[in-house]
Amino acid sequence: MTVTKEPELLPAPDRADLAAVLLEAHPPRRPSALSASLTFGWRAVLKIKHVPEQLFDVTAFPVMMILMFTYLFGGALAGSPGEYLQYLLPGITVTSVVMITMYTGVAVNSDIEKGVFDRFRTLPIWRPAPMVGYILGDLLRYVLASTTIMVVGLILGFRPEGGFTGVLLGVAVLVAFSFAFSWIWTMFGLLLRSEKSVMGVSMLVLFPLTFLSNVYVNPETMPGWLRAFVDVNPITKLVAAVRALMAGGFDGQAMAWTLAYGVVFTVVCGSLTMRLYNRK
């Protein structure tokens, strides 16, 4: 015969003691703006870790661009692929990195559709932290794309007169500009309804900016009406600044325009992004 023993119930806590414990407990300290932004940036990096296929656009795509344009157009535009590579590589680096900035907006839109943003908005954190985190996480993608292009370029025969320092400074300017430029896509990510819409609008903006520039040919060979647009194109200014640094020089005018465009993109599009985020 089995005898079951009733479990002993713990005495109910005294309400006064429970209230005292709750009142004495110190709530966790609110994270700083930097800490919250870095945390969301690390979240974006972890997405790449779990889905490494996302890195195809920063590895395979730049390599394809270099090989295709160098060997298809090098002989016709510069006399030989080697000569054209010296002119092309800084521009291709800019094009490849600027192209992948659109994925920031795609990631924002994807999290909105999944409902993750609703949880972010309830957290006691600095309000812009999720947006800044998206862009900080994508900085790794920009560096990887730039590194991939430089390695392939060196293998093909690219020899920057500015040496390692010039290349490093050029990449730093490019990454800083891409950080500012990404605010455009966070704005579109909040404004548009689907990922496909974000990608469609992004390509509609990026293709004219990258192709109607000094990336592939010297603007002096273009007709006047087209050159008027090319001369004020932010990508043209960025390419000129990066190209000069990698060549061992410094284009002060192009650098000033690049910094000015970066500030405008950050202030204007960043403000609109946060306005949309607060009203979403």
Rounded-to-integer distance, Cα 270 and Cα 131, Å: 9
Tokens representing 39? 């945390």
All structural domains of the chain with their residue ranges: 32-279
Q: Are 72 and 107 in contact (CB under 8 A)?
A: no
* pLDDT tens-place string over residues 97-149: 998 898 888 888 888 888 787 787 778 888 788 888 888 888 888 888 899 89
Q: For the chain, give the number of residues.
A: 280
* pLDDT tens-place string over residues 26-58: 666 777 878 888 888 888 888 777 777 667 777
Tell which residue, 199, 200, 269, has the closest CA to residue 234. Answer: 269
Per-residue pLDDT at 256: 96
Spell 160-188 as b/e; 16+ CB within 10 A means b.
bebeeebbebbbebbbebbbbbbbbbbbb
Per-residue pLDDT at 252: 93
